[in-house]
Structure 1
Amino acid sequence: MPLCSSCGRNTFIPRVAVDLPRLHDRLRNEAGPASVQPDEVTSVLENIQRDLEDYESEIYRLERLRQEKERLEQYATRLRSLLSPFRKVPDEILRRIFDDCCDMNSFRVVHPRNWLPVHTSQALRSKPALVISSVCSRWRRNALSMPVIWSRISLYWDIQAAEYCKDEHAEMFFPLSNFLDRSQQCPMTVNLEIDDYPFSTPGVLHPLLEQLFVQIVRWQDFSFDCMEYSFQKLLDCDRIPSAAFLVLSKLCITDYYVDDNDLVPFLDTAPNLQSLRLGDVFDGVPRVLKNYSQLSHLDFCPRWTDIQNLFEICPNLSSLRITELLRDCNAVGSTMIICSSRFETLAVRHGGWPSNSSADRLVFPLLNLPSLKTLHLETCKPEGNVKGRDERTPEWWYFKPFMAFVQRSSFQLTTFSVQQISICDANLVHILVHLPTLQYLTVDNDDIPQEYSPISLDFIESLHSYRFSSLRPQAGSIIPRLRSLRLLNVAAATFNDLSVVEMVQSRWSPTGLHKVGTSALEVDCLRVFTMTFRNRSEADAGAVYSSLAPIERDGMMIVVQMLGQAGQ
């Protein structure tokens, strides 16, 4: 191979200068004996052949250089991984992160005709323990050392047992048995929803479901939803061990026809049951509830008389989730006030009843809870109302009875949330004025029109640490102990964002004092602020919220999101 004359490197220089136009002209015009020059053509062909061989050698050399380059790039990429800050995270913290990320591993057994085109990737995403264990050897080692992330299983069954094909479903679903094996003897969280025939033969549960049921002794948190079959009927199947829920602490039965019989399998078999959740149509306190006097949390739809006896039946009750309106109030007229000194958490579900319901059916006048720490007002789905809100009466009807309950109880509330409740801004501010110990406030306006939303400019200005507002003419800050403020799903297409920024800045006080003129106001430092808009784009707010960046760098967690385009 000729050397390059300029640098002397082993660089290929062609021997033949390619002149295609001249050759093309000769082929078209030259003819006769004089045009045939075999020696010249032969010499050129030989040089061409040597050039081709040199080209092949050069291509081979360049291909090797390319492969070497790729190898070095891969080596450099892996070498840079040694500098990753995440490698400094100890395994103990890594496992804590895994525990937080791996909520439930979901299995959906449905007929192949209902599979989505991207079912494989969806099946993987629904099993976070499997995804985490597939990243690298270190993550896999830590994931396999954590039985708890494999023990959280949700199984949805919507297929005739006779139509189940093990081979077809094995391609789509990671075997349930692997999760059960990797969970070892760890207490389990099991969510079971059955919408079709679960028996392989009458009286014999399908083998896939049987795998789950043979682990009954490990069930710690169990949720069951089935329209056609009672849980007892599943337990009566052959090859299912005698039920002994020795570690069961949370039980949720939400099928439409739930009654006392659904709790019979757990009588005298669940000595550690602490939390019980029943369907919204359960007619009052279960008769067997007296067997669960150790309960600390109860979620159900009570009668009027149930509330009177509730704390006697469950003396250890500290948390309750009930409907705002009570069933079967035939004993109206009693002024009995139920008082509990142990009670700390109350969730009241608004809706689900006709708008003309009598105020005598309301739960608030019956309660006096001086030790309450957490209070949630939320909306449940009324019958026949898809939106979850009675369109005929958008306002919250029972503000005055609720305020009477607040003033009567005189509790030192630390957590308060209002979710999907149509309450005016003035009423919400009035409530907050009576909650001076509040630390965590959440207002969620999902599905609430802006005209019925409490998150207004006046409300924002009322939260300012030292300014007056039309809703708060008195001096001093409301909720001075506030540390977390979450305003979610604001429906407004436009908003005074500057007022929001100024309010947040006024509550950023690491020293706990705000100087206003010659006086000082004591206000706790706001640590978390979240605000989301559901009908605005990022361009609507401009760069107003960027002025909060210095506060965020100093330690406040700030999240402001525009979740939609105005007008859509």
Structure 2
Amino acid sequence: MPVCSNCASQLLSPLIDLDLSAIRSKLRSDSGPSISQPAEISTTFRNVQQDLISCEDEIQRLEIRRAYLVEQRSLLQDRRDHLQAFLSPVRRLPNEILQRIFDDCCDMNYFRVGGRRQKSIVQSKPALTLSSVSAQWRRNSLALSSIWSRITLSWMYEGEDYGGRETVHEKVLFILDTFLNRSRQHPLTVTLELKTTPVLQNGRFFTVVNRLVEQACRWRSFSSGGSYHGPARVFHRQIPSSLPLLEDVQFNGSYDSINVNILGTAPKVKSLAIDWHIPRSIESCVENLSHLELRPDYNNLETLFLNSPKLRSLKVYMNDEHYPHLAFPEDIYPKYVSPLSTTLEKLTLTPPSFIPEKANYTIFPFLNLPSLKTICLETNPYVGDPSWIDANHFVAFITRSSAKLTTLDIEGLAFSDSDLVLIFTHMPTLLNFTFNDNRVSLESSPITRKFIQTLQVHGQQPLTSMDILPRLRYLKLILRAETFDDAVVIGMVRSRWKPLQSPQSPQSVRSSCPWRRRHAFPEAGAKETEVKEPTMVTCLRECIIQFPNRMRSELEQVYASLDDIEKDGMRFVVLGDGKDDGGSGGSSGLASRV
């Protein structure tokens, strides 16, 4: 009987010879058994059938044994994983640190009434997820009232469709009550997304919405959204007498007097986001604001800043054809603008949804902000042409303000590389620069080969005669181009990190932050001429470049020459999200050096 070469166990022994050569030979000749003598064939045939049955039985026995062993392996792996969990470092974390982690990672808890049924209640409510992991996590989750106080309610039911469905929402109401109880007296962060009216035909609120409105005295942050806008709909013309804890308010939708009156009942509001200008009736309600988002009336900018002495951050929705009374033709731009604010540090600008031909709706000629440190220029998904910014107006605003800008963040804006360099020549104090060419055609992106060359220190600078951004420490570029001159990028990164000797400093510079001496920046409006007093160019400390349309294998090979940068002290990261040849597709990333 044959045996296994691995385990020496006996194997199935067939009753017949499995060699077919003898049978084939007899079939081709006349020496085989005659038709009148089938006994020999029948005996052999029965033996073959018996061998087949034996093989099937053995296969079934082995498959059952294999399935058993696979199940045992799975159980053993689970047991191993559970035993390893006892040794996990997270189990040794102090409760205070674990609660801090929970507070940071647990964002909004989403409740939805109506619409498509949710697959899982726990998936959209991270607080419930954290409290369901283990006894330790549950104790810490229940002790942390803040993670239960962040609630978003999406309402999608029509009033006439709700009749008799109160029991359907008892589960939602029960879970909502659980969150409100576990949040104890912690201030609430509430977002209401109203796709339809939350009011019954008899004028009463739906129970779920009413439960949140009853807690209005605990609201610290309130945001309204959806197609059925406005707190006026939420409060149904019945405004709470006092909103003592409310600090952050966001109104989506058109102007409503109820929205205005709500601000009058909330004396502690510090952040306000609206889609209209502030009417004169509530100008006195904005004196404590530190952050404001609005569509301003250019005529009353001085009054706005005068009534907001604590304002540190401003987001402006640029005016368009829907607000013609808020726009000005170029010939009546103010000739002189006095400083508007000495506290504002961050300015964010969003373009209008539509820019008529030959119209000018820029706010730059009306601004003078000497305390400004950060400028963010955002895109608008409804703008067909993202080239809405006028570089000359922007440069004039920077020059007029004489602010020590440290951060510039640009997303989805199209202008020439020379215009961007012109802007940078008036920002010698800039430390951080981020550019995302989202929604910008490749031909309109300012991040070109010439621009990267201009960023080089002591290199070929085709767009200017001096080093720009002498204090740049952080650079992030998101470029959708499928090809790029990587050698120029590598040269730029190296030129802004590796120290060079200069005539003024003959000794080798050995420091974690090398400097370079170059031309000093001229005063605003002066010509770019070399001056006697050199300026210092500090090293780049962090550089992140992302190519969403390029393969990571290609980037890994091209930028491998910069591996030594990390050892020297710079954080250099190059990311690629393209599909590799032979890969499974989807999104992938590469960190050349982190």
Bin for the TM-score computed over the shorter chain: 0.7 to 0.9
Q: Hey, what's the Cα distance between the residues in 2 that align with 1:60 and 1:347?
A: 67
Match of residue 505, structure 1, among 482, 487, 494: 494
Q: Of residues 84, 88, 98 in structure 2, which corresponds to 1:80?
A: 84
In the alignment, the residues of structure 1 paired with residue 227 and residue 38 of structure 2 have an alpha-carbon distance, to the nearest angstrom, of: 94
What amino acid does structure 2 have at the position aligned with 1:213?
V
Work out whether 1:321 is the aligned partner of 2:315: yes
Compute the displacement of 1:347 (Å): 1.3
Instruction: Select the residue among 462, 477, 480 that pairs with 2:470.
Output: 480
Q: Deviations over 1:408-460 (max 9, x none)?
A: 11111111111221121111122122222222211121101111111111222
Using the TM superposition, give the Cα deviation of residue 248 of structure 1 relative to its aligned residue in structure 2, in angstroms.
0.9
| Cα distance between partner residues in 1 of 2:362 and 2:66 | 84
Which residue in the other structure is 2:400 paired with?
Answer: 408
Moved more, 62-71 or 433-442: 62-71
Distance 1:197 1:348, change over 3 A: closer
Deviations 1:356-406, CA, capped at 9 Å, x for gaps: 4555x532222221111111122335xxxx3x2337xx4633x11211111
Aligned to 2:351: 350
1:110-129 to structure 2, matched below 5 A, reads 110-112=114-116, 115=117, 119-121=118-120, 124-129=122-127
Contact 2:368 2:401 in 1 (8 A): yes
1:251 pairs with one of 249, 252, 259: 249
SS in 2 for 1:535: strand
Q: How far 1:464 moved relative to its partner?
A: 2.5
Distance of aligned partners of 1:473 and 1:191 in 2 relative to their CA distance in 1, 3 Å threshold: same
1:276 match: secondary structure: strand
Do the aligned partners of 2:302 and 2:340 also contact (CA within 8 Å) in 1? no
What is the letter of the counterpart of residue 371 of structure 1?
S
Deviation of the 1:265 alpha carbon: 2.4
Q: CA deviation at 1:272?
A: 0.7
1:561 to 551, 575, 591: 575
Q: Distance in 2 between matches of 1:97 and 1:466?
A: 46
Counterpart in the other structure of 1:396: 389
Residues 213, 66 of structure 1: CA spacing in aligned structure 2 closer, same or farther, 3 A cutoff? same
Output aligned runs, 1:83-482, within 5 Å.
83-87=87-91, 89-112=93-116, 115=117, 119-121=118-120, 124-161=122-159, 163-164=161-162, 165=165, 175-225=175-225, 228=228, 230-236=230-236, 242-255=240-253, 257-267=254-264, 269-279=265-275, 282-283=276-277, 285-325=279-319, 327-329=326-328, 335-359=336-360, 362-380=362-380, 386=382, 388-390=383-385, 394=387, 396-397=389-390, 399-474=391-466, 477-482=467-472
Change over 3 Å in CA distance of 1:75–1:228 after alignment to 2: closer
Contact 1:120–1:172 (CA under 8 A) maintained in structure 2: no
How far apart, CA to CA, are the structure 2 residues paired with 1:60 and 1:564?
Answer: 45
Distance in 2 between residues matched to 1:175 and 1:249, nearest whole Å: 26
Aligned length: 524
Report the residue type matching 1:273 in the other structure. V
Q: Which residue of 2 aligns with 1:51?
A: none
Provide closer, same or farther for how the CA distance between residues 60 and 454 of structure 1 changes in structure 2, counting only shifts above 3 A: closer
Where does residue 42 of structure 1 map in the other structure? none
Q: Is the 8 A contact 2:172 2:208 kept in 1?
A: no
**Measured at CA, do residues 246 and 485 of structure 1 come closer, stay the same or move farther in structure 2, by a change above 3 Å?**
same
Distance 1:498 1:416 in 2: 25
Could you say if the C-alpha distance between residues 553 and 169 of structure 1 is closer, same or farther in structure 2, counting changes exceeding 3 Å? Answer: farther
Per-residue Cα deviation, 1:147-194 (whole angstroms, up to 9, x for no partner): 222222222211124545466567899922222222222212111121
Unaligned runs of 5+ in 1: 22-28, 32-56
- Cα pair 1:351 1:390 within 8 Å, conserved: no
Q: How has the CA–CA distance of structure 1 residues 335 and 434 changed in structure 2, closer, same or farther, with 3 Å as cutoff?
A: closer
Counterpart amino acid of 2:274? L
Q: Distance in 2 between matches of 1:492 and 1:70?
A: 46
Cα distance between partner residues in 1 of 2:262 and 2:489: 54
Query: Is the contact between residue 274 and residue 293 of structure 2 (CA under 8 Å) also seen in structure 1?
Result: yes
Aligned residues of 1:483 and 1:526 also touching (Cα < 8 A): yes
Aligned residues: percent identity? 33
Name the CA shift for 1:260/1:556 in 2 (closer, same or farther; >3 Å).
Answer: farther
Give the 3-state SS of the residue equivalent to 2:347 in structure 1. strand
Q: Specify the code of the residue in structure 1 equivalent to 2:542.
A: V
Change (3 A) 1:87 1:186: same
CA shift, 1:207, in A, is: 0.5
Q: CA deviation at 1:470?
A: 0.7
Alpha-carbon separation, structure 2, partners of 1:272 and 1:463: 46
Distance 1:79-1:202 versus aligned 2 partners, 3 A rule: same
Q: Which moved more, 1:220-229 or 1:329-338?
A: 329-338
Query: How far is the alpha carbon of 1:65 from its aligned partner?
Result: 8.4
Classify 1:110/1:528 alpha carbon distance in 2 versus 1 (closer, same or farther; 3 Å).
farther
Per the alignment, do residues 264 and 440 of structure 1 end up closer, same or farther by CA in structure 2, a change over 3 Å counting? same
Aligned residues of 2:373 and 2:404 also touching (Cα < 8 A): yes
3-state secondary structure, aligned to 1:200? coil
Separation in 1 of the partners of 2:301 and 2:415?
26
Paired residues of 2:231 and 2:258 also in contact (CA < 8 A): no
| Per-residue deviation, 1:72 | 4.5
State which drifts further: 74-83 or 306-315: 74-83
Q: CA–CA distance in 1 between the matches of 2:279 and 2:66? A: 82
Alpha-carbon RMSD: 4.7
Counterpart in the other structure of 2:551: 537
Deviation at 1:223, TM superposition (A): 0.8
CA distance in 1, matches of 2:103, 2:16: 72
With over 3 angstroms needed to count, the CA separation of the structure-2 counterparts of 1:60 and 1:311, relative to structure 1, is closer
Asked if the contact 1:462/1:469 (under 8 Å) is kept, the reply is: yes
Give the match's secondary structure for 1:423: coil
Check the 8 A contact 2:283/2:304 in 1, yes or no. Answer: no
Verify the 8 A CA contact 1:375 1:416 in the aligned structure 2.
yes
Residue 221 of structure 1 and its aligned partner are, at CA, apart by 1.3
User: Is the 2:337–2:368 Cα contact (8 Å) retained in structure 1?
Assistant: no
Q: Does the 8 Å contact 1:259/1:286 carry over to 2? A: no
User: What stretches of structure 2 of length at least 5 have no aligned partner?
Assistant: 19-36, 40-60, 320-324, 499-510, 519-533, 581-594
Deviations, residues 249-288 of structure 1 (Å, cap 9, x unaligned): 1111111x22344221231x21110111111xx2554521
TM-score (norm 2): 0.74
Cα offset, 1:486, TM superposition: 1.5
Q: For residue 550 of structure 2, give the secondary structure of its aligned residue in structure 1.
A: coil
Aligned residue identity for 1:507: R
| C-alpha distance after superposition, 1:518-568 (max 9, x if no partner) | xx99544434322223433335545112334443466644443334469xx
Q: Verify the 8 A CA contact 1:111 1:163 in the aligned structure 2.
A: no
State TM-score, norm by structure 1. Answer: 0.77
Q: Distance in 2 between matches of 1:13 and 1:202?
A: 83
